[in-house]
């Protein structure tokens, strides 16, 4: 049962083939069996999850009409607060903190009867592409335990790939949902900025952060998207508009007559040959389904990485100023306020977080603001205009999700630029605030590891991603004859 899709699990629950308690316990057993090796979870809330499951079972038995995913378990990235449950953001700075309230995403999960199994590992404060920056140790990719599961949401993607949960929540600031999905053979969606509430999401970069669904199928992601999406008055950046019809689009899965734009700048040098080969094979499949494939140029995408690494650290520098031993976080040392702050931030933050705080503080400093942060914001505008011009020619845009498959743990740990380049294809969508999705495109011939196919859609047209993603997913499944995760090591799942 744990290998089934979330939709299949929901059907089994509604027909009383299995109870939510049984389903939840099966996933808790899988976590106990494999998570010592995978380390996807930082905290497993067995008692709370089973209590939620008993409640759903009782309501179903009483004849109550329940939400589509009621009773299905989920893994929650440890950057979203859940009342009374440890929330660390992968940092020593928040070790032991138990929030006094639920984030809007958590409230909506609970309202939909979705069972929260626990909190997943992540790069500290969502800063990283490998989940090696967690203060609590790295997460391992279920395909090869010596490799990274992506980042910053590697815990959520690894939990899906190891069958520890059928659904997960991630957050995406520059690719932290999509890149982990690509390297673990799972599905990850960054909704339009403002499409899912950020209330209760511990901020890294406020103009870029976006929570979204992670799953093993496009339809599962669509149902989870509908559960957590929509307007929230508690978030000033929330879009007051209906959720795009993502479930309907995922069920439709028809690309006949659609125009799909291939972004010229997001391929070529630096991309693994096997990843590009799978990308081109996916394009051929879409063409065979009746889509028109065209090439588009987005010339300012070449500057996206540089702009991102000025904007995101600048906002991080501001957002993380609150963790000063006086307002939030641990407290280290004695003496004056300045001495305590210095000691606390020195010990509480990891190396990558410190690097980005310093970079952002410098970019915002007097005399440099216009040259760095101001210029980066101008590039952001140019990138948005590139997208607008491209969407005038195509319904959706596509690219490889990540330039390579999963690399070995430690391989890029001492080379920040090499690490940052993992997000070269995902960053532009965050800068423009539009939606992006990654689905598995197959296994690269060099190493037999998963690669991702990225689909991008205009703001609040997220349903287009699901429509194309569903069509390609079905075509690939027909070609492969079995789900991609059936090729992964069992980790006790079978």
Q: Please state, in angstroms and rounded to a whole number, the distance separating the CA atoms of residues 101 and 109.
A: 14
Judged by phi (left if over 0) then psi (alpha if -120 to 50, else beta), residue 129 lies in alpha
Sign (positive or negative) of CA dihedral 173, 175, 178, 182: negative
Q: Please give the pLDDT value at position 341.
A: 87
Domains of the chain with bracketed CATH: 6-258+403-411+436-487 (3.90.1300.10)
For 18-43, b/e burial (b = at least 16 CB within 10 A) is: ebbbebbbbbbebbebbbeebbbbbb
Tokens of 463: 């349903």
Q: Is residue 152 reached through a cis peptide bond, with omega within 30 degrees of 0 on the bond before it?
A: yes
Catalytic residues: 77, 152, 176
Q: Please state, in angstroms and rounded to a whole number, the distance separating the CA atoms of residues 464 and 258.
A: 10
Share of the chain above pLDDT 90, in %: 92
State the pTM of this model: 0.97
Q: State pLDDT tens for residues 384-415.
A: 999 999 999 999 999 999 999 999 999 998 89
Give, for all 494 residues of the chain, the pLDDT tens digit. Answer: 999 999 999 999 999 999 999 999 999 999 999 999 999 999 999 999 999 999 999 999 999 999 999 999 999 999 999 999 999 999 999 999 999 999 999 999 999 999 999 999 999 999 999 999 999 999 999 999 999 999 999 999 999 999 999 999 999 999 999 999 999 999 999 999 999 999 999 999 999 999 999 999 999 999 999 999 999 999 999 999 999 999 999 999 999 999 999 999 999 889 999 999 999 999 999 999 999 999 999 999 999 999 999 999 999 999 999 998 888 888 988 889 888 888 999 999 999 999 999 999 999 998 888 899 999 999 999 999 999 999 999 999 999 999 999 999 999 988 999 999 999 999 999 999 999 999 999 999 999 999 999 999 999 999 999 999 999 999 999 999 999 999 998 775 43
Q: Do 345 and 353 touch, CB atoms closer than 8 A?
A: no
Q: Which residues does 295 contact at the CB level (< 8 Å), separation at least 6?
A: 261, 262, 264
Q: Please give the pLDDT value at position 489.
A: 84
Q: Please give the pLDDT value at position 326.
A: 87
Q: Please give the pLDDT value at position 329.
A: 87
Q: Please state, in angstroms and rounded to a whole number, the distance separating the CA atoms of residues 243 and 460.
A: 8
3-state secondary structure 17-86: CCCHHHHHHHHHHHHHHHHHHHCCEEEECHHHHHHHHHHHHHHHHCCCCCCCCCCCEEEEECCECCCCCC
Q: How far is CA 427 from the centre of its chain?
A: 13
Q: Please state, in angstroms and rounded to a whole number, the distance separating the CA atoms of residues 489 and 145.
A: 10
Q: Please give the pLDDT value at position 385.
A: 98
Q: State pLDDT tens for residues 2-38.
A: 999 999 999 999 999 999 999 999 999 999 999 999 9
Share of the chain above pLDDT 70, in %: 99
Q: Please give the pLDDT value at position 229.
A: 98
Q: Please give the pLDDT value at position 494.
A: 33
Q: Please state, in angstroms and rounded to a whole number, the distance separating the CA atoms of residues 468 and 207.
A: 27
Q: Please state, in angstroms and rounded to a whole number, the distance separating the CA atoms of residues 241 and 450.
A: 36
Q: How far is CA 346 from the centre of its chain?
A: 28
Supply φ then ψ for residue 397, to 5 degrees: -115, 150
Tokens of 345: 């931030």
Look up residue 133 and give its DSSP letter: S
Q: Please state, in angstroms and rounded to a whole number, the distance separating the CA atoms of residues 387 and 364.
A: 27
Q: Please give the pLDDT value at position 53.
A: 98
Return the closest-CA partner of residue 102 out of 131, 124, 82: 82
């Amino acid at each position: 049962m744990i290998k089934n899709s979330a939709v299949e699990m929901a059907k089994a629950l509604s027909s009383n083939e299995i109870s939510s308690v049984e389903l939840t316990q099966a996933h808790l057993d899988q976590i106990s069996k494999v998570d010592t090796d995978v380390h996807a979870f930082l905290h497993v809330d067995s008692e709370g999850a089973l209590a939620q499951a008993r409640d759903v079972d009782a309501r179903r038995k009483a004849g109550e009409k329940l939400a589509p995913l009621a009773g299905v378990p989920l893994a929650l990235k440890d950057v979203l607060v859940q009342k009374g449950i440890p929330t660390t953001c992968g940092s020593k700075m928040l070790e032991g903190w138990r929030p006094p309230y639920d984030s809007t995403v958590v409230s909506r999960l609970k309202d939909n009867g979705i069972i929260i199994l626990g909190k997943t590992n992540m790069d500290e404060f969502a800063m990283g592409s490998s989940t090696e920056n967690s203060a609590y140790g790295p997460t391992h990719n279920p395909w090869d335990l010596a490799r990274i599961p992506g980042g910053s949401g590697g815990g959520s993607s690894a939990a899906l790939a190891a069958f520890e949960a059928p659904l997960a929540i991630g957050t995406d600031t520059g690719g932290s949902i999509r890149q982990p999905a690509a390297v673990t053979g799972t599905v990850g969606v960054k909704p339009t900025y403002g499409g899912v509430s950020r209330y209760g999401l511990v901020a890294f970069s406020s103009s870029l952060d976006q929570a979204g669904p992670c799953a093993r199928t496009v339809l599962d992601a669509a149902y989870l998207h509908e559960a957590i999406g929509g307007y929230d008055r508690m978030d000033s950046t929330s879009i007051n508009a209906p959720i795009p019809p993502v479930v309907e689009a995922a069920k439709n899965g028809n690309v006949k007559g659609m125009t799909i734009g291939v972004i010229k700048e997001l391929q070529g040098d630096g991309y693994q040959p096997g990843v590009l080969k799978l990308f081109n094979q996916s394009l051929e499949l879409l063409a065979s389904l009746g889509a028109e494939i065209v090439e588009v140029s987005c010339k300012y995408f070449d500057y996206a990485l540089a702009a991102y690494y000025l904007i995101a650290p600048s906002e991080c520098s501001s957002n993380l100023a609150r963790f000063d031993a006086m307002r939030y976080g641990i407290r280290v040392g004695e003496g004056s306020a300045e001495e305590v702050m210095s000691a606390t931030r020195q010990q509480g933050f990891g190396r990558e977080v410190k690097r980005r705080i310093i970079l952002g503080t410098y970019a915002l400093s007097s005399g440099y603001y216009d040259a760095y942060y101001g210029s980066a914001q101008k590039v952001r505008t140019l990138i948005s205009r590139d997208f607008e011009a491209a969407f005038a020619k195509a319904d959706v845009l596509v690219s490889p999700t990540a330039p390579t498959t999963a690399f070995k743990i430690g391989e890029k740990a001492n080379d920040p630029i090499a690490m940052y380049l993992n997000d070269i294809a995902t960053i532009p969508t965050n800068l423009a605030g539009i939606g992006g999705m990654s689905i598995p495109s197959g296994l690269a011939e060099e190493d037999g590891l998963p690669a991702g196919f990225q689909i991008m859609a205009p703001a609040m047209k997220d349903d287009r991603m699901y429509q194309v993603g569903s069509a390609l997913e079905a075509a690939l499944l027909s070609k492969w004859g079995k789900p991609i995760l059936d090729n992964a090591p069992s980790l006790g799942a079978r």
